[in-house]
Amino acid sequence: MRSTIAIPVTVHPTPELLGRAIAQRILGGIERAAEENRRYLLGCPAGRTAVPVYAALGAMAGMTRFDLSGLVLVMMDEYLVEGPAGEPGHPALCDPRAHYSCRRFAEQEIRAVVNAKLPAPRQLPAAGVWCPAPAEPEAYDRRIRDAGGIDLFLLASGASDGHVAFNPPGSSAEAGTGIVALAEETRRDNMATFPGFAAIAEVPRRGVSVGLGTIAGLSRAALMILHGPHKRQAARRLLESRDFEPAWPATILHRCRHPEIHLDAAAAPEAA
């Protein structure tokens, strides 16, 4: 499928205003899903990119005592470490208490933030956080499909290589959730995402991740978020693309339904 129309681009003055605009959209989507008596699935990256969205979502939900009990966070990925001694080649999920754990991020930086000002019955429950598992990664796609698909996928692009989730350059546009070898540039980017890493040798080499096919095939809408001057080149590369380019995985946005790009002023290429 070739992209035939330009992807809509919105430039927001600041990351905070970007976050508020997207959070408002998410709250509206949750309301509509509740009217249809179903859950609202939100595809979520860990790390810095969507933090303004999570912060705004918590603030806005708290102000109105919004009901988030029907929200599901579909996390993109998690780091893997080698399994117990005697089981080489059988990676396991990293410790959820590790500073770089995406599950830790989901619990402390998303769920705790959005629930902070809500009464218990209206909070996003712990069971509303999903994460792929290495033992049967393809089951994640089945779970998403059985739930009706992801209503909105928030996407982030690697600054140096355009990776999305843990999908490195060269990834297939049709790939589903699976175990992925992290590219060196991705691992270097993740040192900035998780500053507790003192050296690249500490960054795991593998992860379990949604595939580009999961993102494009199982989401109803997708928003690429880029903010800060360090994402300016990534924004330029994406804006100059016309279709999916395997060398820059973020261009999978061209294959998504209802794609959009949201930048802050500092990431907009004309700010250079």
Q: What is the pLDDT of residues 61-73, one digit of tens each?
A: 999 999 999 999 9
- Is 64 contained in some domain? yes
- Is 10 contained in some domain? no
Containing 217, the helix (H) or strand (E) segment is helix 212-217
- Is 167 contained in some domain? yes
Give residue 270's pLDDT.
Answer: 76
- Is 7 contained in some domain? no
Q: Tell me, what amino acid is at 163?
A: H
Give residue 190's pLDDT.
Answer: 83
The torsion of the CA quartet 26, 94, 234, 152, rounded to 10 degrees, works out to -20
- Exposed, middle or buried by CB within 10 Å (0-12, 13-18, 19+), for 114? buried
Cα(15)–Cα(37) distance, rounded to whole angstroms?
33
The reported pTM is 0.93
Residue spans of the chain under pLDDT 50: 1-4, 85-86, 272
Count the neighbouring beta carbons within 10 Å of the beta carbon of residue 39: 17
Beta strand 152-156 pairing with 178-181: unpaired
Number of domains composing the chain = 1
Domain that residue 159 falls in: 16-81+89-264
- Is 251 contained in some domain? yes
Q: Tell me, what amino acid is at 87?
A: E
- Is 62 contained in some domain? yes
- Exposed, middle or buried by CB within 10 Å (0-12, 13-18, 19+), for 269? middle
- Is 9 contained in some domain? no
Q: What CATH number is attached to the domain comprising 169?
A: 3.40.50.1360
Model pLDDT for residues 153-197, shown as the tens digit of each residue: 999 999 889 999 999 999 999 999 999 999 888 898 888 888 899
- Is 2 contained in some domain? no
Cα(257)–Cα(132) distance, rounded to whole angstroms?
22
